[in-house]
Chain A
Amino acid sequence: MTQQARLLMAATAAFILSLVAQAAAQDADWAKVIEAAKKEGKVVLYTSTQGVEFHNQALRSFQAKYGIATELLDVRASELDQRIQTEQTSGRYVGDVLQHGEASALRHEQNGVFQPYISLPNFQNLQQIFKEKSSKVRVPIYVSAYGLLINSELVKGEDEPKSWRDLLNPKWKGKIMADDFRALGGGSVWFDVMFGALGREFHEKLAQQNIVFSRDVGNDQRRVARGEYPMRLPQHYSNFPQLEGLPVKLVQPVEGASYVQFDTGVLKNAPHPNAARLFIDHYIGETVQVIYANNALVPVAMGISEKADPRWRSITGAKLLGTSAPERLDAMLAAAKEIYK
């Protein structure tokens, strides 16, 4: 063996040893986080997705694994923002972890509402795109996609829209129900994405179809099932499993689905900061990611779709067309108000 080869071997061994040592140190550090989290004994989750069952499933899995109590505060986005703002300005800190739509989470990040999560062992398992979309204080946890809901008794066979452009067919005039594009929510995200993908002209033509707006999402799905309207958009993929057994079908038009990414982060001055870090790591780990996939959400970690319920695989692997950008929100809401008077 030459001198050079010996040197190369020694360097390689040193490098491997340093990696092992680093990993061991990280493991030891993380073990300390777990220990500290258990001492804190509790974690309080604030989220803007209200009343969904997957929260309870995910919380139970965390409690079962670590024996740490969890408390959930699930309210509507505006009410959550109001609380966060009030707690942070008054110094009465109650929440530990915040889960929110990407646009709102970004705004909170800019306002300094989060503190760094430092490191998370499961972060390395995230899909590359979601690693890139994360920051030092914010991590994506799942994606909620939207399609088109149709009444399968009123819209049959070749009438079924294949493309979003098929909604412009005159036969659907006055028959399309939609979540209001002029208000913040699924409707405004869909408006923004279609504005980018199909242009303003598409919306101007769609406005001629006399869209019926309603914001009572849970009930509106049922109104389509009852035959009040033959179709509704945009339809949360994750709401669709609850409609199994009703005469409705979820259509995924060829262009793809609009979506909202949900992010999470540790709140500044969280009363239980270690439990909060452990909690977020658990949420991007396999157990919770599979729970999300089984609830028709798109997971952010790698290798989850194949472990999910086969019924929802087409949804968890759905073609994603785009989402709304926070910097465009005001302009898009104004455009929607102008087009859909």
Chain B
Amino acid sequence: MLGLGLILAFLAIYPLAMLLYGSLHSTPPGMAGEFNLDGYRRMATAENGLVLFNTVVMALINTVVSLALAIFLAWIIARTDTPGRGVLEMLLTLPFFLPPVLTAMAWGMLGNPQVGGINSVWRWLTGTNTTIINVYSYFGVVWHMMQYATTFLFLFIVDAFRAMDPSLEESSRMSGASLFQTFRRVTLMLMLPVITSAFTLSLIRGIESFESPLFFGTPVGIRVVTTQVYDAINQSARPDYQYATALALAVMGLMFLLVLMQWRILGGRNFTTVTGKGYRPTVTKLGPWRWATFAFCILFFFITVAMPVGQLFVGSFFKFFGFYSWNMLTLDNYAKVLRNDEFRRGFQNTLLLGVIGASATMVLGGLTAYVTTRTQLKGRRIIEAMAWTPWMMPGIVLGIGFLWGFALLPGPIQIYGTIWALLLAYMTLYTPISVRVMSGAYSQLGYDLEECSRVHGGSWWQTFWRILVALAWPSFAVGWVLVFFGILRELSASILLFSAGSEVLSVVVLKLWTNGRAEEVCVIGLFMMALVILFRWAQSRFIQRHINTL
């Protein structure tokens, strides 16, 4: 456990310590300056109070609506006989894997009040001059956040729904409870660890959301904590690191309270749903209602996937995105991307970092979750807290912590300027997800299975491998995909840590985007989506084969 603690301390606490230093010192680490509280003093204003209030309210609305949608979708996919669930599951999750700039661009075209596609259709249908949707508003910010939050939450909870023993729901129904009562009192209650984890993760991510408020909020004066931090670093005459780090650390303190609340809610309860008793995974028969749930999934897919992704698909075949005339049809965007050396290099580096990073992060997360949920070791709460902390720090600030941290390591330790800097940063950023996914999975496993194995002569390792790993494998695979594609999309830390030759895909996308080459960004986005479909397919095959062999 000491080794695990040291690894987590290096990955999570060391960069945070750098940021704490930055918030208390008038200059960044390594430069002459003085210690003072100026950053915190300047941060504590009524204006920032209002900004924080706005941020929390938007994050809360986003999380509550997205969680409700995600639970309903997860229930449909995992616990009902809705037709085509396998395909629907893959399709519903696609928006999560797209770079936010792409979906922002697509929604900007669909929902702008002047010439947006939705408003144009509405005006054509009604013959009026009214506007029914304006994405440049509070609604637009939350709507864009929801594209990611709903699919993230769905991915996070769907396997927990699948792993649940249906006998508990059957008992409820046999005791006279209605379908809704059973869903509310049994299904939801048993899902509490996963749901509260997902809620907390999503709320924190919502508070740290950056792209949605930047694209849809900034033009109409909507400000949130992350855009304040961004302005202090990127939009001032001189980057104000002291103020930016102080603001980020103060918000992190508030978010830590959320995590403590979650621990309090879950403390002392038993959520075991997978026990030594055999169970037959069955689904609820919905009768004719299964077509209603099917239609709901299709509607969700159409609005959140088909409409924006359709824009990207069509846009990738035209010289200019959004200008669709025959003489502008071209395959040039595909040729340009394939000829782009930086894209090829970025893709190779990202794939390497994604595979190694996701595997290492899931192993680290699996071990951490094991220590915190399956043992009574002293200090396990500290381990858990260390694993959580990176999630509570906005990426744009954490990136600076890594940069300072890696550059100021003692001379012989050469991480700065190498690809390893990116790998370590990714592990830090995604360990919280891996820990949450694996903790959720472990909490559902009864201790009787392990005891049974040990009684029958199984060693600790055999028990760990044949019982815990085997039963938690689907969650491990889901976590792996979440981390892998998180790495594929990660920008904030990458932009500060990549070096010439170690470019990653998100950096290449940003470069193309800032130079108005939206069509090539569309091609890369579609390429990433094809990768998602391939990985999701491979994942399902892999799980099926390994669950059987394990």
Residues of A within 8 A of B (CB): 44, 50-52, 71-79, 81-83, 85-87, 89-90, 92, 94, 107, 180, 182-185, 212-219, 221-223, 225-229, 239, 242-243, 245-246, 329-330, 333
> What 0/1 pattern do residues 222 to 258 of B give for CB contact below 8 A with A?
0000000001011111110000000000000000000
A74 to chain B, nearest CB (A): 7
- B237 near A218: Cβ-Cβ < 8 Å: no
22 sampled A-B residue pairs with Cβ under 8 A: A50-B514, A51-B517, A71-B500, A72-B500, A73-B500, A81-B239, A86-B30, A89-B29, A90-B407, A180-B235, A215-B218, A216-B215, A217-B516, A218-B516, A219-B108, A222-B322, A222-B516, A225-B320, A226-B323, A245-B319, A245-B328, A333-B237
- Interface positions, chain B 413-442, Cβ under 8 Å from A, are 416-417
B515 to A184, Cβ gap below 8 A? no
CB-based contact B496/A82 at 8 Å: yes
The answer to whether A86 touches B403, judged by C-beta atoms less than 8 angstroms apart, is yes
Residue in B108, B416, B515 whose beta carbon sits within 8 Å of that of A52 in the complex: B515
B500–A44 touching, CB < 8 Å: yes
B321 contacts chain A at the CB level, 8 A cutoff: yes
Residues B518 and A222 in contact, CB atoms below 8 Å apart? yes
Contact A73 B320 (CB under 8 A): no
A contact residues around B114 at 8 Å (CB): 227-229
Tell me which residues across on chain A come within 8 A of B408, comparing CB atoms: 90
Q: Could you tell me the distance between the alpha carbons of A75 and B276 in the complex, rounded to whole angstroms?
A: 55
Contacts of A227 in B (CB 8 A): 114-115
Neighbouring A residues of B320 by C-beta, 8 Å = 222, 225, 245-246
> Contacts A85-B31, A221-B516: A213 and B500 contacting too (C-beta < 8 A)?
no
Residue of B nearest to A326 (CB): B237
Bound-state Cα–Cα, A221 to B515, Å: 10
A residues in contact with B446, CB < 8 Å: none
Partner of A330, one of B28, B31, B237, B501: B237
Knowing A82-B403, A246-B320 touch, does A50 contact B108 (C-beta < 8 A)? no
User: What CA separation (Å) do A330 and B400 show in the bound complex?
Assistant: 23
Q: Which residues of B contact A330 (CB under 8 A)?
A: 237
- Cross-chain contact B513 with A86 (CB below 8 angstroms): no
**Contact partners of B237 in chain A: CB under 8 A:** 184, 329-330, 333
Chain A positions within 8 Å of B495 at CB level = 75-76, 79
Distance of B66 from chain A, by nearest CB (Å): 25
A150 smallest CB distance to B (angstroms): 15
Among residues of B, the one whose C-beta sits closest to the C-beta of A218 is: B516
B511 on interface, CB distance cutoff 8 Å: yes
In the complex, the answer to whether B108 meets A223 with C-beta atoms within 8 Å is: yes
B343 CB to nearest chain A CB (Å): 11
Contact B515 A51 (CB under 8 A): yes
- Bound CA span A329–B237, Å: 6
B503-540, CB < 8 A from A = 510-518
A73 touches B499 (CB 8 A): yes
Cβ-defined partner of A76 (8 Å) among B28, B31, B108, B234: B234
CB distance from A237 to the nearest CB of B (A): 14
Determine if B219 and A214 form an interchain contact, defined as CB atoms under 8 angstroms apart.
yes
In the assembled complex, the CB of A176 is this many whole angstroms from the nearest CB of chain B, namely: 12
* Interface contact A89-B31, CB-CB below 8 Å: yes
Alpha-carbon distance A228/B322, docked complex (angstroms): 12
Q: Mark B7-42, 1 if CB is under 8 A from A, else 0.
A: 000000000000000000000111100000000000
The complex places the Cα of A77 from the Cα of B515 at a distance, in Å, of 15
Q: Mark B398-409, 1 if CB is under 8 A from A, else 0.
A: 001001100110
CB-based contact B115/A86 at 8 Å:
no
Are the CB atoms of B233 and A78 closer together than 8 Å? yes
Whether B30 lies near A89 (C-beta < 8 A) is: yes
* Chain B residue at smallest Cβ distance from A81: B239
Residue from the list A92, A182, A215, A219 in contact with B518, Cβ < 8 A: A219
A183 to B500, CA, bound (A): 28
5 A-B pairs with least C-beta separation: A51-B511, A183-B235, A218-B516, A71-B500, A89-B30
Task: Give A52 to B105 CA distance when docked, in angstroms.
Answer: 20
Q: How far is the CB of B315 from chain A (nearest CB, A)?
A: 11
Contact A74/B511 with A83-B403, A213-B219 known, Cβ cut-off 8 Å = yes
Judge whether A78 and B516 touch: CB under 8 Å: no
Question: Inside 8 A of A212's CB, which chain B residues have their CB?
Answer: 219
